């Protein structure tokens, strides 16, 4: 059925693994991800962004996830990704989500606390859990140097104060990951020392890592080989994510890698079969490509296979 992430995170924390949170926008993406979770016997979070709600119309996504739960028999968390206002969080709480994220990371510390608290009060009253964010995810353009880390990465003492004052259920932290396919210009690195400090100040508290696609070279190359143009794409190395999964990180967000897998597959099919124009002939394989990518993540990166 539809569940919150409460138990999932408790088990992940104690079992030294992370649950994958995958972004969904349409039927094929949902089916591919759910197939993988079934195959891997893994816990699962499906997340919907404001952009996804706009693209698909919220009711379609909710009904598709409902269908996925009914058809698969799995326990699934339906989560709002990066809610930026009380109103969108309220709309998702009222609309059947079991988890919402209020992302006040662009606000001041006090404003972020006030907004998060308001969402927590509303959501908890209805049995819905809340994720918040503290610190700013850096992009390639932000050129994170040692001296800028303190300004953008999550401050451990602030994280502890934030959690205690808001009563939030999980917290997304900034330690060097960023959204999209261009995460690092030079050598990739994450601030594991900071992660360790945060987790020491918040015992048994689940942390979340956004921007956790690995941007596998194989898929970037496939896209480029079949007419794509995404040079210099780079993600978080899998071994770093595996390391974070074994620590207090209990939720790892992945979207870009699913987009790459599906697009690489569809590009290849269209180039190799120019007379094909039945959408099922490329959306079907695209769905399988998502399934295989998600299965690989669960098994080799998150450590959550057979942890359902």
Residues serving a catalytic function are: 81
Q: Which of residues 59-98 bind ligand 13P (CB under 6 A)?
A: 81-82
In the range 216-255, which residues lie near ligand G3H by CB under 6 A?
255
Site residues for Zn ion, 176-235, by CB under 5 A, read 210
Nearer Cβ to ligand 13P (35/255): 255
245 binds ligand 13P (CB under 6 A): no
Q: Decide: is 265 part of the binding site for ligand G3H (CB under 6 A).
A: no
Q: Which residue number, 179 or 299, has a Cβ lying nearer to ligand 13P?
A: 179
The contact mask relative to ligand G3H for 112-131 (x = CB under 6 A, - = no) is: --------------------
Rg, the chain, Cα only: 19
Distance CA 170, CA 18 (A): 13
What CA dihedral angle connects 173, 138, 302 and 199, to 10 degrees?
-30
Decide whether 7 or 142 has the Cβ nearer to Na ion. 7
Closest CB to Zn ion belongs to which residue? 210
Q: What is the distance between the alpha carbons of residues 184 and 198, in angstroms, rounded to a whole number?
A: 23
Report how far residue 211's alpha carbon sits from residue 156's, in angstroms, rounded to the nearest whole number.
Answer: 20
The Cα–Cα gap between 234 and 215 comes to 6
Distance between CA atoms of 169 and 174, rounded to whole angstroms? 17
Question: How far apart (Å, rounded) are the C-alpha atoms in residues 76 and 3?
Answer: 6
Q: In the complex, what is the shortest distance from the CB of residue 182 to ligand G3H, in angstroms, rounded to a whole number?
A: 13
Q: Is 102 left (phi over 0), alpha (psi -120 to 50) or beta?
A: beta
> Of 210, 251, 287, 297, which one interacts with ligand 13P (CB under 6 A)?
210
For ligand 13P, give the closer residue by CB, 253 or 268. Answer: 253
Contact residues: ligand G3H, CB under 6 A: 23, 49, 51-52, 81-82, 179, 255
């Amino acid at each position: 059925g539809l569940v919150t992430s409460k138990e999932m995170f408790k088990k992940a924390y104690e079992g030294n693994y992370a649950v994958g949170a995958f972004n969904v926008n349409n039927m094929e993406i949902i089916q591919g991800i759910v197939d993988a979770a079934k195959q891997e016997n893994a816990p699962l979070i499906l997340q919907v962004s404001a952009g996804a709600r706009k693209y698909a119309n919220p009711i379609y996504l909710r009904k598709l996830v409902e269908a996925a739960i009914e058809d698969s028999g799995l326990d699934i968390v339906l989560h709002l990704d990066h809610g930026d206002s009380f109103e969108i969080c309220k709309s998702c709480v009222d609309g059947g989500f079991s988890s919402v994220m209020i992302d006040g990371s662009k606000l001041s510390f006090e404003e972020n606390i006030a907004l998060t608290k308001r969402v927590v009060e509303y959501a908890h009253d209805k049995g819905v859990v809340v994720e918040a964010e503290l610190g700013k995810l850096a992009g390639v353009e932000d050129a994170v140097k040692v001296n800028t880390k303190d300004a953008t990465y999550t401050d451990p003492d602030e994280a502890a104060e934030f959690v205690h004052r808001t009563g939030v259920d999980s917290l997304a932290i900034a330690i060097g990951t960023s959204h999209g396919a261009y995460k690092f210009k030079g050598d990739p690195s994450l601030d594991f020392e900071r992660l360790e400090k945060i987790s020491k100040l918040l015992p048994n508290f689940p942390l979340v890592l956004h921007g956790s696609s690995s941007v596998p070279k194989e898929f970037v190359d496939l896209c480029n080989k079949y007419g794509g143009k995404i040079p210099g794409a780079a993600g978080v190395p899998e071994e770093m994510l595996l390391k974070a999964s074994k620590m207090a990180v209990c939720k790892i967000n992945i979207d870009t890698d699913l987009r790459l897998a599906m697009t690489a597959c569809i590009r290849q099919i269209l180039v190799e079969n120019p007379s094909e124009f039945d959408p099922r002939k490329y959306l079907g394989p695209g769905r399988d490509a998502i399934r295989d990518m998600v299965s690989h993540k669960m098994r080799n990166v998150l450590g959550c296979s057979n942890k359902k």
